[in-house]
Amino acid sequence: MRNCLFIVLLLLVSTTTIKAQDPPVVEGLSVELASAGARLCWSAVSNASYYRIYERIGDAPFSLVDSTTMTCFENENYHPTMENCYYVTAVLGDGSEVSSEMRCVGPEALDFTAMDIHGNAFNLFEILDGGQYVFIDFFSYTCVNCRDAIPFIVESYTRYGCNTGDVFYVEINASQGDALCQLWCEEFGVEFPTISRDGGAGKFSALYHTDVSPHFTLIAPDHSIVLDGGHSGFVVTDLQSIIDAFEPLGIRVRDCSTNVAASESKRTVVYPNPADGFVNLPMVASSMIRIYNVMGQLMESLASVDHPHRLVTTSYPEGVYFIQADGKYIGCFVVQH
């Protein structure tokens, strides 16, 4: 009799253990960066009615982002400058829930293409993949702190190679158009690309969640965000503040003359400058003359110019252009229509 009772109790314990097993979890959660943010995908769960997506940005607590019946989700709230963590919960037909493991991504840049105020295309990943850091200055024409900072940024632009060294400079104005940005560039002597509201700066600013000016961001060639004004406390107060931020990253000082520039005494005199329609190039003893814009894009190639040459600039967008002779900088000119 006692043996029979023991067997019954053993069966009951065994049955209880089986029922207490954890239900299957949401498996296979992956997080990849897409053009508009983070793309999450996971394996379907049997008997799932729908899925809930939870997100944690930086040090904030997890919060519900959205619900879906699909097994992939595009999250446009991704913050490139912070760590973004996610998990997914499946709500089953009986009302119970099972969750995935947590996955994190970032801080990592999102790609973007825009047009500067002179009509030149700018693609973020194209510059990064070429091996340069990208320094972004988010500014506004009427911002007092922006005006205080820009002289030091222009000075550092020259110190670090005029976009030919380790750092490529670009500035973003999401609230104002080309005309006002052109006045800004003329006032402060900005030669690096400026992208205004007209060129798509608003979308760029939205991707990076920058709603205040000034805001400074430095992106490494591996697409990681290494400095950001909103979260790392990176601010520009003088030239030394930029040097102190750049030097620990191994960013090297580079005279603008080392790649596309030579000494002032060797520069070629071109006229009229600014040019409107044409510019006269004097005789140059070289095998090849090349004209580049401030983005480093080749505009035109000329065979050896052994006599004065008139270069037609009617098709050139307004901006600054550099002249190279056999790979060495010999002068520049400005196009204004």
Counting the structural domains of the chain, the total is 3
pLDDT at 267 over 70: no
Specify whether 87 is located in the same domain as 211.
no
Q: Would you place residue 64 in the very low, low, confident or very high pLDDT band (cuts 50, 70, 90)?
A: very high
Average confidence (pLDDT) over 180-206:
91
Position 125 in a domain: yes
Specify whether 197 is located in the same domain as 270.
no
User: Which of 55, 86, 105 marks a domain boundary?
Assistant: 105
Average confidence (pLDDT) over 150-168:
94
Average confidence (pLDDT) over 141-154:
92
User: Which of 50, 70, 105 marks a domain boundary?
Assistant: 105
Specify whether 281 is located in the same domain as 327.
yes
d(CA 194, CA 119) in angstroms, rounded, equals 10
Position 4 in a domain: no
User: Residue 203 belongs to what domain range?
Assistant: 113-258
Position 273 in a domain: yes
Specify whether 152 is located in the same domain as 252.
yes
Position 207 in a domain: yes
Q: What is the DSSP string of 231-249?
A: TT----SSHHHHHHHHGGG
pLDDT tens digits for range 8-61: 444 444 444 433 445 558 999 999 988 788 999 999 999 999 999 999 999 999
Specify whether 95 is located in the same domain as 229.
no
Specify whether 253 is located in the same domain as 276.
no
Specify whether 72 is located in the same domain as 204.
no
pLDDT tens digits for range 73-98: 998 889 998 899 999 999 999 999 99
**Choice between 4 and 134, residue whose per-residue pLDDT is larger:** 134
Beta-sheet strands, E only, within 118-240: 121-123, 133-138, 167-172, 194-195, 215-219, 225-228
Specify whether 85 is located in the same domain as 53.
yes
> pTM for the whole thing?
0.66
